[in-house]
Copies of this chain bind each other. A is one copy, B any other.
Amino acid sequence: MTNSQVELITIGDELLLGFTVDTNAAHISRTLAAAGVEVVRRTTVGDEADKIAAAVGEALERTGAVITTGGLGPTSDDLTKPAIAKIFGRSMKLDEEIASALEQRWRARFPNSRFPATNRSQAEIPEGARVLTNRHGSAPGIWLEDDKGRWVAMIPGVPREMRGMLAEEVLPRIKVVAGGSENAIISETLRTTGIAESAIAELLGPNVLGEQDTETGSLSLAYLPGIAGVDLRVTAKRLAPARAEKLVREAIEKLRSLVSAYVYGEDDTDLAAVVLEKCRSLGLKLAVAESCTGGLLGERITNIPGSSDVFLGGVIAYHDDVKRQALDVRAEEIERYGAVSEQVALQMASGVRKKLGADIGVSITGIAGPGGGTPEKPVGLVWIAVDAWETKAQRFHLIGDRAEIRQRAAQAALEIVRRALSNG
């Protein structure tokens, strides 16, 4: 039995109204899970003191350990601290040290402006609370604990500040109060692309993980279809770490053997990183020619740190004139077959390879929509070509909206390069 369970409460009208996607919640959950701390419930409430107090109160009753994000800023939506102080029966008091640090910070930035009284509220903390240092912004965090060991950690909602404080201030303290947990949540993911969820399900069959899946209730398989492909995630819970790791590893290897042709990596692996690493190990240089993706493939590749020793660059050939001038695509081919065609895709790939002096050229030309489709060439039609030691083009009919089609096209282009490298 583990006592390292927490609840997460994210606070903010912008979250509840959907204006902001709650990426903080995912980051916190992943970070805690990696440390063997399980987020058992997540709640989002708006900037209203009674709603915040209700959610935190229930979570304290239920789980006794709560992290909140948001509601600590200098602007008028600063409600979290007093609302939570009330639950613990504590009053608020001004922390002179924080107040003077805030004032100094202000003066350094705005020497000609008076420190506003509203900003002093950031320096008010519940009696008996511990201040969590914020090295990444102005609003400090708060750790509040009662005599039964129940606690709430309050950290800001600004992602950069939240991430820093979680790692530096909150996680070390959770490990102390939770004690050494016997059990960790062990999870590994196998990443596939170029195959549908239902087709994988058929390849794997039902109950592929065998008796472990049902008998102990501790090993589970989840299908996670996304733009990049279908991820297969195996998770072990409430098992001794050594046994959990062994079971998860065995399950992953079993799954891999059943769908190996579609597997490009594990866990957070980005297909772009796989392609870069293969190119690097073979000493090959890569260049891209993009029409409908407009730079997205280059962006994916250069998002990987260190890509500059493999990736030379590319041409965004959005207009057909650029395809001709910058990539030497023949005008008569564009006219005869259209810009979205096997012929043009092949010429774009070989054009960028030659122009930039690369070993591998890869190209994308397609119809991302919403407009521009015809019965013969509907929205979602994409031609992708690679020019290297082998030259080939592949036709795709991709589903989704404009953004999804473009993302799927970039992923498919990377997969074509990966397969060419595996064959080469």
Closest to A62 in B: B54
Number of copies: 2
Tell me if A302 counts as interface (CB < 8 A to partner B): yes
Q: Enumerate chain B residues within 8 angstroms of A202, measured Cβ to Cβ.
A: 110, 113
Size bin of chain A's contact surface: 35 or more
The CA of A296 and the CA of B198, in the complex, are separated in Å by 33
Q: Is the CB of A26 within 8 A of B30?
A: no
Tell me if A3 counts as interface (CB < 8 A to partner B): no
Q: Enumerate chain B residues within 8 angstroms of A288, measured Cβ to Cβ.
A: 295, 316
Tell me if A179 counts as interface (CB < 8 A to partner B): no
Q: Enumerate chain B residues within 8 angstroms of A58, measured Cβ to Cβ.
A: 58
Q: Contacting A294 at CB < 8 Å: which of B294, B303, B402?
A: B303
The CA of A14 and the CA of B33, in the complex, are separated in Å by 11
The CA of A14 and the CA of B185, in the complex, are separated in Å by 13
Question: A218 CB to closest chain B CB, in angstroms?
Answer: 12
The CA of A307 and the CA of B406, in the complex, are separated in Å by 14
Q: Which applies to chain A's interface (DSSP): helix, strand, loop or mixed?
A: mixed
Bitwise, A44-64 to B at CB < 8 A (1) or not (0) is: 111100010001001000000
Q: Is the CB of B29 within 8 A of A18?
A: yes
Looking at A17, A76, A201, the one whose CB has the most chain B CB atoms below 10 A away is A17
Closest to A319 in B: B312
Q: Is the CB of A400 within 8 A of B160?
A: yes
Tell me if A365 counts as interface (CB < 8 A to partner B): no
The CA of A30 and the CA of B17, in the complex, are separated in Å by 6
Q: Enumerate chain B residues within 8 angstroms of A293, measured Cβ to Cβ.
A: 299, 302
The CA of A399 and the CA of B77, in the complex, are separated in Å by 25
Which of A143-151, A219-227, A275-283 is near enough to bind chain B? A219-227
The CA of A301 and the CA of B339, in the complex, are separated in Å by 20
Sample of 16 more A-B contacts, CB < 8 Å, known A41-B44, A295-B302:
A17-B39, A17-B187, A19-B231, A21-B21, A41-B45, A77-B220, A116-B206, A158-B225, A288-B316, A290-B295, A294-B299, A298-B316, A299-B406, A303-B402, A315-B316, A316-B316
Enumerate 14 A-B pairs (CB-CB under 8 Å) in ascending A order: A17-B29, A20-B224, A25-B44, A76-B221, A109-B198, A290-B298, A294-B302, A303-B403, A305-B369, A308-B318, A313-B318, A314-B318, A322-B356, A326-B356
